[in-house]
Amino acid sequence: MIVLVINCGSSSIKYQLFDMRNEAVLAKGLMERIGMDKASFIHQPAHKDRVTLSRPINDHGVGIRMVLDSLVDPTIGVIESLNEIAAVGHRVLHGGMKFSDSVLITPDVIEAIEECVELGPLHNPANILGIKACEKLMPDVPQIAVFDTGFHQTMPPHAYLYGLPYEAFEKYGVRRYGFHGTSHRYVSQRALALMGGVEKARRIITCHLGNGASVAAILNGCCVDTSMGLTPLEGLVMGTRCGDIDPAIIPFLMKKTGMSPEEIDAYMNKKSGLLGLSGISNDVRDIEEAALQGHNRANIALEVYVHSIRKYIGSYAATMGGVDAIVFTAGLGENSISMRSRICHGLEFLGAYIDTNKNSVYGKETEISTDSSPVKIFVIPTNEELVIARDSVGICAKLQNADQSQNAALGAPRRAHSSL
Ligand code: AMP
């Protein structure tokens, strides 16, 4: 079964085509700056040379068409016909309180995703554009939505409610939703598998540390708390996001500077975090280099960053009554030996002992705690696309079963889905 995974951002499309018989990636690519003067398109077929293009791409519809054309192109393609694609899985940012699981996309589901646009104003409209473009170009192929918020829907009210008047939640849906759910789900399930099941790893803390970053507390395989909130702005100090701040800072700064709501939103989302603190970059590699050369603000930025992560690890250990495993994933979590070491240093009181030699690893699934460490520490590369593809396969199998039961009940001959 061949599954196309699509992840549309406001001006970008990321994709991966999987052969789910062996979960092999047949092709992947990235299109950026859609709707701008010159868009860039990188298409990487497996076992063939990478193709790069630079030309205007007006909208997501045109972009998706180009992606599909590349997949079936006689030279750079990897399949003969679009009929080989059995399902398209879409990453959707915000499912609000409506979606805890991945779903087959129907007109009602699109309407529900549209209702969540207020909560995910940058991403949900782009996700809908991608879904509609795929529906138009592949009308008979099941489209599946996999929500970034879905995995966190198991949080109990005491973790997802803010200390605001209850009407803010009831009337406006103001609560913690959490993001990076597909990643937290994937790496926590891998950690469970590596540790031999939920009896051995009841309490897991997953740290998704990329340019955007979040931590999640996973109890008995279910998310019970996470650091991002109504939007991805809350929680850790990130590449360009401020993370947790005193909410009174917002009106204070607006009065002092005359910033509008949109301007203060951009200030906190795009100009803050590691970039704002260091004044150098949002990338830890640049900041570490500057810190080594004695740049004071670079050093402070790294200290604030590490402090915010350790604070979340400690508080989740407290709320879960301890921790059995800590997992690092995403760009920094998978690749930064120095930051993993700094984050774990001082967590020995929890029973988490990092092994310096084992920690010398980049982007590879590895246990990095000492052999005697009561708390296991892992590096687990995330694979959100694979989760989306697997969910798509699961939903298609359910559809096929439902179809077969219905046909059997009607006494009709079974209709085979040739592509499944
Ligand atoms: P992501 O958003 O998951 O693609 O992660 C991107 C971020 O990961 C970058 O902004 C860097 O801060 C960080 N990163 C990636 N590779 C490394 C590395 N080798 N060392 C330190 N940080 C890294």
**pLDDT tens-place string over residues 48-63:** 999 999 989 999 999 9
Residue 47 buriedness (CB in 10 A; 0-12 / 13-18 / 19+): exposed
Sheet holding 85-92, edge to edge: 51-55, 39-45, 24-32, 13-19, 2-8, 85-92, 143-147, 103-104
Ligand 1 contact, 330 CB (< 6 A):
yes
Q: Where are the beta strands (DSSP E) in 33-173?
A: 39-45, 51-55, 85-92, 103-104, 143-147
Closest CA to 10 of 130, 132, 177, 181: 130
Ligand 1 contact, 331 CB (< 6 A):
yes
Ligand 1 contact, 65 CB (< 6 A):
no
Determine how β-strand 143-147 pairs with β-strand 103-104. Answer: antiparallel
Which ligand 1 atom sits closest to the C-alpha of 212? Answer: 2
* Segments in 138-196 forming alpha helices (H): 157-160, 166-172, 181-195
Probe target for ligand 1 pocket from 284, 334, 360, 385, with the most ligand atoms within 8 Å of CB: 284
pLDDT, residue 251, reads 98
Residue with tokens 């997501």: 60
- The number of beta carbons lying within 10 Å of the beta carbon of residue 128 is 21
Average pLDDT value for residue range 263-277: 96
Average pLDDT value for residue range 394-419: 70
For the cut 90, the answer to whether the pLDDT of residue 409 exceeds it is no
Which ligand 1 atom sits closest to the C-alpha of 362? Answer: 19
The residues assigned a catalytic role are: 148
Q: Quote the longest CA-to-CA distance of the chain.
A: 78
Which band of pLDDT confidence, cut at 50, 70 and 90, is reported for residue 400? confident
Which ligand 1 atom sits closest to the C-alpha of 337? Answer: 20
Q: Which pair of tokens denotes residue 140?
A: 């008979």
C-alpha–C-alpha distance, residues 15 and 67, integer Å: 8
Between helices 384-410 and 181-195, what is the axis angle to 10°?
Answer: 90
Q: What is the pTM of this model?
A: 0.93
Lowest mean per-residue pLDDT among 326-335, 390-399, 400-409: 400-409
Ligand 1 contact, 336 CB (< 6 A):
yes
How far separated are the first and last CA of the chain, in Å rounded?
5
Average pLDDT value for residue range 194-216: 96
C-alpha–C-alpha distance, residues 420 and 412, integer Å: 20
Residue with tokens 């199998």: 397
pLDDT, residue 420, reads 40
Probe target for ligand 1 pocket from 332, 334, 379, 384, with the most ligand atoms within 8 Å of CB: 332
Which band of pLDDT confidence, cut at 50, 70 and 90, is reported for residue 122? confident
For the cut 90, the answer to whether the pLDDT of residue 337 exceeds it is yes
From the DSSP assignment, how many helices (H) and strands (E) are in the chain? 14, 14
C-alpha–C-alpha distance, residues 179 and 330, integer Å: 13
- Percent of the chain at pLDDT above 90? 91
User: What residues contact residue 344 under an 8 Å CB cut-off, 6+ apart?
Assistant: 326, 352, 354, 377
Ligand 1 contact, 239 CB (< 6 A):
yes
219 or 38, which is more confident? 219
Q: Whose CA is nearest to atom 4 of ligand 1?
A: 331
DSSP state of 412: P
Ligand 1 contact, 335 CB (< 6 A):
yes
pLDDT, residue 419, reads 37
Report the chain's mean pLDDT, rounded to a whole number: 94
**Integer CA distances (angstroms), 357 to 208, 217, 367, in order:** 22, 27, 11
* Domains by residue range for the chain, with CATH: 2-147 (3.30.420.40), 197-379 (3.30.420.40)
Expressed in angstroms and rounded, the spacing between residue 249 Cα and the centre of ligand 1 is 29
Which ligand 1 atom sits closest to the C-alpha of 209? Answer: 3
- The number of beta carbons lying within 10 Å of the beta carbon of residue 290 is 20
Ligand 1 contact, 211 CB (< 6 A):
yes
C-alpha–C-alpha distance, residues 89 and 147, integer Å: 10
Probe target for ligand 1 pocket from 336, 338, 340, with the most ligand atoms within 8 Å of CB: 336
Cβ–Cβ < 8 Å for 178, 155? yes
Cβ–Cβ < 8 Å for 18, 5? yes
DSSP string, 84-105: GEEEEEEEES--TTT-SS-EE-
User: Which residues is 25 bridged to in the sheet?
Assistant: 18
Which band of pLDDT confidence, cut at 50, 70 and 90, is reported for residue 412? low
DSSP string, 349-375: GGTB-B-TTTT--SSS-EE-B-TT-SB
Ligand 1 contact, 232 CB (< 6 A):
no
Probe target for ligand 1 pocket from 238, 278, 283, 337, with the most ligand atoms within 8 Å of CB: 283
Which band of pLDDT confidence, cut at 50, 70 and 90, is reported for residue 121? confident
Expressed in angstroms and rounded, the spacing between residue 56 Cα and the centre of ligand 1 is 29
C-alpha–C-alpha distance, residues 100 and 152, integer Å: 8
For the cut 70, the answer to whether the pLDDT of residue 417 exceeds it is no
Which band of pLDDT confidence, cut at 50, 70 and 90, is reported for residue 120? confident
- The number of beta carbons lying within 10 Å of the beta carbon of residue 96 is 20
Cβ–Cβ < 8 Å for 238, 274? yes
Average pLDDT value for residue range 11-15: 94
Average pLDDT value for residue range 297-308: 98
Ligand 1 contact, 275 CB (< 6 A):
no
DSSP state of 253: H
Ligand 1 contact, 284 CB (< 6 A):
yes
pLDDT, residue 415, reads 38
Length, in residues, of the chain = 420
